[in-house]
Amino acid sequence: SMQCFPGLVLALSSLLGVLALLQLSLHLRVPSRYGKHEERLCRPRGRLPARCAWFLQELPSFLVPALLLALRSPPRLEPLGCRLLCCLFCWHYFYRTFIYPFFTRGRPFPLQLLFFGMLFCIYNGFLQGYYLIYCAEYPNDWCTDIRFTSGLLLFLLGMGINIHSDLLLRQLRKPGEVTYKIPQGGLFTYVSGANYFGEIVEWFGFAIATWSLPAFAFAFFTLCCIGPRAYHHHRYYLKTFTDYPKSRKALIPFVF
């Protein structure tokens, strides 16, 4: 049966860090080609409806850790921290897989990116799940540790911001519409990438709560992946809407 190989965790986390830097270098100037940054040239054949695409892409991030958690034998009952933290991760991806896609009004998603996105979700789902289920050791009072409590608080706050902002974005369109409008309300009052800001806060909260290398690597990846994308969204809005609110920042309220 499976056991913890610390070398494997270190190797996979380091590679995730490398992927983050690769992502950053590839997409600092040119955004990932989906959504509002997709090239017109893309043939419709190379795309899948947003619903199917987001469902398929994010499913492994839920399934892989959930299966690891369920199938571990003997079941790991102690300490509570490991299961709780693994459940937090699964909880986010339950939302992202089973709820978010069914309400999205996004345009069709490029198959090629879907393929890489899925690979990424398998990789990361395995790393986070494997670490928490097979490797992590927490003292029995971890649930009252300041790292756990403050991290959990940040996670919940970030998740709230992310879900609320995705809802505001969705309400900009009627079903079937694919046009872009100026997002209003919530944290969009302060930043163009409110949903991304929430997601980044969420994963740094998770990293602090788990106090683990894999989770910090993933938070860093998230920052490198959607941080630049928030900046590209911001530039797109400034270019497209002459009446775009001048005081609005790209990602971090009042700062950047």
Which residues of this protein are in contact with ligand NDX, per CB under 6 A? 19, 22-23, 32, 35-36, 57, 104-107, 113, 116-117, 120, 162, 166, 169, 172-173, 178, 180-181, 183, 195-196, 199, 222, 225-226
DSSP 207-255: HHHHT-HHHHHHHHHHHHHHHHHHHHHHHHHHHH-TT--TT-BSSSTTT
User: Minimal distance in Å, beta carbon 134 to ligand NDX?
Assistant: 23
User: Minimal distance in Å, beta carbon 13 to ligand NDX?
Assistant: 15
Task: Say whether 14 sits in a helix, a strand or coil.
Answer: helix
User: Minimal distance in Å, beta carbon 180 to ligand NDX?
Assistant: 4
User: Between residues 58 and 134, which has the closer beta carbon with respect to ligand NDX?
Assistant: 58
User: Between residues 69 and 124, which has the closer beta carbon with respect to ligand NDX?
Assistant: 124
Listed as own residue / partner, the contacts of 136-140 with beta carbons closer than 8 Å and 24 or more positions apart are 136/81, 136/82, 136/85, 136/210, 136/212, 137/79, 138/79, 138/81, 138/82, 139/79, 140/78, 140/79, 140/80
DSSP 47: E
DSSP 172: T
User: Between residues 22 and 153, which has the closer beta carbon with respect to ligand NDX?
Assistant: 22
Q: For helices 111-130 and 80-94, what crossing angle results, to 10°? A: 170
CA 131 to chain centre: 18
User: Minimal distance in Å, beta carbon 133 to ligand NDX?
Assistant: 21
For the record, the structure tokens of 31 come out as 């955004």
For the record, the structure tokens of 112 come out as 């090629």
Residue nearest to ligand NDX (CB): 106
User: Between residues 81 and 117, which has the closer beta carbon with respect to ligand NDX?
Assistant: 117
User: Between residues 180 and 211, which has the closer beta carbon with respect to ligand NDX?
Assistant: 180
User: Minimal distance in Å, beta carbon 169 to ligand NDX?
Assistant: 4
User: Between residues 21 and 80, which has the closer beta carbon with respect to ligand NDX?
Assistant: 21
User: Minimal distance in Å, beta carbon 102 to ligand NDX?
Assistant: 12
Across-strand partners of 47? 110
User: Between residues 69 and 121, which has the closer beta carbon with respect to ligand NDX?
Assistant: 121
Cα distances (angstroms) measured from residue 10 to each of 2, 137, 171:
17, 16, 42
Q: Do 199 and 158 contact (CB within 8 A), yes or no?
A: yes
User: Minimal distance in Å, beta carbon 47 to ligand NDX?
Assistant: 11
